[in-house]
Amino acid sequence: MLTKEAVMHILSGIDDPELKKPVTELDMVKFVNIEEGNVTVGITLTVPSCPLKGKISEDITKGVGLIPGVESVKVEFDAMTDEQREALRQKLGYGAKESLSTIDIGNIARRFIAVASGKGGVGKSTVTANLAAALARLGRQVGVLDADVYGFSIPHMLGVHGQPTAIDNKIVPLRKGDNIQVVSMGFFVNPDEPVIWRGPLLHKAITQFLTDVMWIDLDYLLLDLPPGTGDVTITIAQAIPATELLVVTTPQSAATSVAGRVAKMAEKTKLKVIGVIENMAYYENKGEKDYIFGKDGGKNLAKHLNVPLLGEIPLMTSIREGADTGRPVATDGTPEQVALFETIAQSIEQMNP
């Protein structure tokens, strides 16, 4: 039967595409008018230029149109006032502008895992992207903060592009499916221009990505760090003392030795190293393993650090192709490739932070 209550029931099942919460819960429904089978729904957008209002209109038109007796559906839009946006921020758990000294880190995520490497080129970002995909596949809400401000690549590897919208200066992360939220320096700078910043600017950027982003209901926030032990890593350690560190290395001794220095830095800054992942561990050809970069480097590093070796990821063309096309093998690969990263994700799940 066509009633206002029936329409509101349908609307309660329609999510804002960015905030992933029902439009009714977000107080976005301004009115519902019914005249002889013709339904008009008023929706108040968070920002006037919302890029996804077409999706909202489509979902409402389709959903309300299924109610018996509906002949037509019209959706009218306006935008929230400053007061309404502030009320929405409060409802989502974000109050006045925060700083690292006032922000409740527990409101951001249940666990923070920084993915680090001693040197570039070991596949740290590829591991981060696939770990995010694997955790999301397990049903977890995962945020990915691309803190590699000099070599940001997470958006490309996850296939997430565009510029985030903002609600009262709070950045709304872009989405990869329903379970991955992404923020990267790559969303805000010309990808062809180098980022030439020193310590204070880097500190400010990372601080803003923590305090001025509207992360929604995260189980994990993965932080893809720049290689080495520079300013960004120190800022993360100061900002989020509960951060756990995951070290990525290749088997090569040159990589494991500098990865060990990253772990020593973590020890000095009171970060907990939770494991080692050995990437490009071997190349398999016709059932034979060729240890191109050496053997047992990750295993020996993990033993030295007294942490588990969480995975040995082979050198595979498909992993590189997945990163290049924004389709991580952790979700889009073969069952064996999916299981490879799922096993790592499950091991992390079973740890006590």
**How would you classify the pairing of strands 170-171 and 166-167?**
antiparallel
What's the CA gap between 139 and 142, in Å, rounded?
9
Helix residue ranges, H only, 3-123: 4-11, 53-64, 82-91
Helix residue ranges, H only, the chain: 4-11, 53-64, 82-91, 124-137, 154-158, 199-211, 231-239, 253-268, 297-305, 317-325, 329-332, 335-349
Band (pLDDT 50/70/90 cuts) for residue 47 is confident
Residue 20: pLDDT over 50: yes
Q: Domain-by-domain residue ranges, the chain? A: 4-91, 106-349
Could you give phi then psi for residue 189, rounded to 5 degrees? -125, 160
Mean pLDDT of the chain, nearest integer: 85
Residue 86 falls in which region: left (phi positive, over 0), alpha (psi -120 to 50) or beta:
alpha
Structure tokens at 346: 């499950």
> How far from the centroid of its chain's Cα atoms is residue 49's Cα?
24
What's the CA gap between 194 and 242, in Å, rounded?
31
DSSP letter (8 states) at residue 32: E
175-184, 193-202, 264-273, 321-330: segment of lowest average pLDDT: 193-202
Residue 131: pLDDT over 50: yes
Q: What is the mean pLDDT of residues 226-247?
A: 80
Structure tokens at 59: 């979902």
Would you call 174 exposed, middle or buried from its count of C-beta atoms within 10 A (0-12, 13-18, 19+)?
buried
Asked if 43 and 76 touch (Cβ cutoff 8 Å), the reply is: yes
pTM of the model: 0.74
Structure tokens at 16: 């804002």
**pLDDT of amino acid 196:** 46
Residue 11: pLDDT over 80: yes
What's the CA gap between 273 and 228, in Å, rounded?
15
Strand partners, 249: 278
CA 114 vs CA 111, 132, 237, 293, 349: distances in Å: 10, 12, 10, 25, 15
**pLDDT of amino acid 13:** 92
More confident residue, 49 or 187: 187
Band (pLDDT 50/70/90 cuts) for residue 339 is very high
Residue 190: pLDDT over 70: no
146-173, pLDDT tens digit by residue?
887 777 889 999 999 888 887 767 888 9
**pLDDT of amino acid 192:** 58
**pLDDT of amino acid 219:** 95
Q: Which CATH architecture has domain 4-91?
A: 2-Layer Sandwich (3.30)
Would you call 34 exposed, middle or buried from its count of C-beta atoms within 10 A (0-12, 13-18, 19+)?
middle
**pLDDT of amino acid 180:** 95
Indicate the Cα dihedral angle 311, 317, 320, 322, nearest 10°: -90
54-111, pLDDT tens digit by residue?
889 999 999 999 999 999 999 999 988 878 877 887 777 665 444 454 455 667 889 9
More confident residue, 255 or 135: 135
19-33, 97-111, 172-186, 307-321: segment of lowest average pLDDT: 97-111
Q: What is the mean pLDDT of residues 237-258?
A: 85
**pLDDT of amino acid 286:** 83
Residue 176: pLDDT over 50: yes
195-220, pLDDT tens digit by residue?
544 445 566 777 778 878 888 889 99
**pLDDT of amino acid 103:** 52
**pLDDT of amino acid 94:** 60
What's the CA gap between 145 and 323, in Å, rounded?
17
Q: What is the CATH number of domain 106-349?
A: 3.40.50.300
Helices vs strands, H then E, count in the chain: 12, 15
215-236, pLDDT tens digit by residue?
888 999 999 988 876 677 777 7
**pLDDT of amino acid 248:** 93
Band (pLDDT 50/70/90 cuts) for residue 194 is low
Contacts of 260 by beta carbon, 8 Å cutoff, 6+ apart: 118, 301, 304, 305
Band (pLDDT 50/70/90 cuts) for residue 189 is low
Residue 311: pLDDT over 80: yes
More confident residue, 191 or 284: 284
